[in-house]
Structure 1
Amino acid sequence: MNPYAMNEGYDSYRSVDLEARAAAASPYELVLVLFDGLLDELARARGHIEAKRYQQKGRSLEKCMNILNGLSSALDYEAGGQVVQDLARLYDYCIYRLSDVSVSLSLETLDEVQRLLGVLREGWAGVNAARA
């Protein structure tokens, strides 16, 4: 079986699943969906670096940076105060570190970003649970 075709099929399934989850999500659940996609894509980027698939690595990191930019642009700077400003700086830091990974191929830097975003995802899950 062609592994490329399998990967393409999985990507199509994942896309449909993501669209269905997003359509039914509250704003907080949507943030969690984005974080889940972001963390999945970071894991894929790691696999691409380890397998020396540099073109796919570039696409994965670009997707991650796009998601982070989207999360940052959705922040309510007027109502959020210092917390939102700190969150925006953290998103920017992660984007900066991912651009470094794109060139350096540093798995340690990728792991740092994944840890930071994992903690943020847990925080958003807590906010979502408290609102339920």
Structure 2
Amino acid sequence: MLMQDSGFNSYQQVDLDAQAASASPHQLVLMLINGFMDELVRIKGHIIAKRFAEKGTGINKCMNILTGLDSALDMEQGGEIAVNLHDLYEFAQFELFRASLNNDLNRLDNVEKVMTNIREGWEGFGTHV
């Protein structure tokens, strides 16, 4: 069973790499946000199941994604939108930190709401590009 899972995971990684290689910057942001949201669901499960090491790994992944999204912002040309996104990413990082400290699912719900709104905005933006 482990070998099958390993092969499937390898296939998924190759597929993800291929998608990323051919993606536009807009699509890459959506891929990152979708990956973030998937990991957030896993973190909730880890907290509920009291798998705290795995929770910590998941929190770290989400923090890294937020850092990547934030570092890609063009604060000079992005204007108010870039500033607002920066503030939202910073809020999400703070909430993730507090959720991790206290195993607080409500704080994860706050992060999920913020990131869902951001994803919807990016999806809407994609229809106008």
| Pair in the same fold by TM > 0.5 | yes
**Residue matched to 1:80:** 78
Residue identity in the other structure for 1:100: R
Q: 2:113 aligns with which of 97, 112, 115?
A: 115
Moved over 3 A (4+): 5-14
Q: Deviations over 1:53-100 (max 9, x none)?
A: 100100001000100000000000110111111110110110011011
Shift of 1:20: 1.7
Give the counterpart letter for 1:116 in structure 2: V
RMSD of aligned C-alpha atoms?
A: 1.6
Structure 2 residue matching 1:79: 3-state secondary structure: coil
Unaligned 5+ runs, structure 2 = none
Work out the CA distance in 2 between the residues paired with 1:107 and 1:14.
29
C-alpha distance in 2 between matches for 1:41 and 1:10: 18
Distance 1:73 1:59 in 2: 21
Give the residue type in structure 2 aligned to 1:129: T
AA paired with 1:99? F
Percent of aligned positions with the same letter in both sequences? 46
Counterpart of 1:91 in structure 2 is 89
Match of 1:102 in 2: 100
Residue 8 (structure 1) shift: 5.1
Which residue number in structure 2 is paired with residue 38 of structure 1?
A: 36
TM-score by length of 1: 0.90
Superposed displacement of residue 48, structure 1: 0.7
CA contact (8 A) 1:41 1:60 kept: yes
Structure 1's unaligned 5+ residue stretches are none
Shift, 1:6, TM fit: 6.7
Letter in 2 for 1:42: L
- Cα 1:48–1:7 change in 2 (3 A) is farther
Q: What is the TM-score with the length of structure 2 in the denominator?
A: 0.92
Going from structure 1 to structure 2, the CA distance change for 1:30 and 1:103 (only over 3 Å counts) comes to same
- Further displaced range: 11-20 or 26-35: 11-20
Change (3 A) 1:71 1:15: same
